């Protein structure tokens, strides 16, 4: 588990195809590794990766086909900057929100513009994730815990202060940039709880008809 508070920016140092998936080396820059052991997790642009080797200046990790299919890792290039956060401990300050490092989908930056000293970003999420994104709720973008300022269908807006811009990869976002998104895990569990016994059925989810049928709304 993570908090979404980025500890350092690293960079992709090597990408090695391995039997249909990928092994990669991340140089960690200012991220201290003295307390990191083999098998530990490090969120890398929001993707929870397991450390399999520690060469000294970074870590190697294996990336499965499942991860490649549902994150931006498949698009990464050598030299690319990435957000880094080590897994939280009992002594970690929970300054962001509970982040699992399990990416829900890939979004796209629609627009960016300056607003006083802040930068405003509009991001389009996959349609299937729209129901989990709420005004003033939390969302994780490339591993960064952020507050949603506005929601318009599957698009949402963010206000990014100078410190966050400087300390994360958001500084390099442009129109068309693709980003890893993780919705608030509480929203996903709430959906399953609302389904009750129907959660065991393979089809469907929480719909307007479902809510009306169970007295949450009126048709």
Of 86, 115, 132, the domain-final residue: 86
Non-local (6+) Cβ contacts of 44 within 8 A are 10, 26, 61, 82, 83, 84, 143
Rounded distance between C-alpha atoms, residue 194 and residue 174, angstroms: 38
Is position 93 within any domain? Answer: no
Task: Assess whether 181 and 204 both reside in one domain.
Answer: no
Per-residue pLDDT of the chain (219 residues; tens, 9 = 90+): 899 999 999 999 999 999 999 999 999 999 999 999 999 999 999 999 999 999 999 999 999 999 999 999 999 999 999 999 999 887 777 778 889 999 999 999 999 999 999 999 999 999 999 999 999 999 999 999 999 999 999 999 999 999 999 999 999 999 999 999 999 888 877 777 777 777 677 655 555 454 445 454 555
Task: Assess whether 18 and 69 both reside in one domain.
Answer: yes
Does residue 33 sit in helix, strand or coil? coil
Rounded distance between C-alpha atoms, residue 83 and residue 76, angstroms: 13
**Length of the chain (residues):** 219
Sequence-ordered alpha helix ranges (H) in the chain: 65-70, 162-167, 185-195, 208-213
* Total count of domains within the chain: 3
**pTM of the predicted model, to two decimals?**
0.87
Does residue 176 sit in helix, strand or coil? coil
* Segments forming the whole domain that contains residue 47: 8-86
Which residue has 């931006």 as its token pair? 72
Query: CATH number for the domain including 60?
Result: 2.40.30.20
Is position 199 within any domain? Answer: yes
Task: Assess whether 109 and 180 both reside in one domain.
Answer: yes
Task: Assess whether 164 and 201 both reside in one domain.
Answer: no
Is position 94 within any domain? Answer: no
Non-local (6+) Cβ contacts of 95 within 8 A are 3, 5, 145
Task: Assess whether 153 and 216 both reside in one domain.
Answer: no
């Amino acid at each position: 588990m993570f908090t979404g508070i980025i500890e350092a920016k690293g960079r992709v140092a090597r990408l090695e195809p391995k039997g249909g998936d990928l092994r990669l080396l991340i140089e960690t820059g200012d991220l201290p590794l003295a307390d990191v052991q083999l098998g530990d997790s490090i969120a890398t642009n929001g993707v929870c990766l397991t450390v399999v080797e520690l060469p000294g200046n970074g870590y190697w990790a294996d990336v499965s086909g499942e991860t490649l299919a549902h994150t931006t890792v498949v698009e990464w290039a050598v030299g690319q900057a990435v957000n880094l956060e080590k897994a939280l401990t009992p002594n970690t300050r929970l300054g962001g929100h509970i982040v699992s490092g399990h990416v829900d989908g890939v979004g796209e930056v629609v627009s960016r513009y300056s607003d006083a000293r802040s930068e405003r970003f509009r991001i389009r999420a996959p349609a299937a994730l729209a129901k989990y994104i709420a005004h003033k709720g939390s969302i994780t973008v490339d591993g960064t815990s952020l507050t949603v300022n506005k929601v318009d269908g599957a698009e949402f807006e963010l206000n990014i202060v100078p410190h966050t811009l400087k300390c994360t990869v958001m500084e390099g976002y442009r129109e068309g940039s693709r980003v890893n998104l993780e919705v608030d895990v509480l929203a996903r569990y709430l959906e399953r709880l609302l389904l009750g016994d129907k959660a065991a059925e393979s089809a469907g989810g929480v719909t307007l008809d479902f809510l009306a049928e169970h007295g949450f709304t009126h048709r």
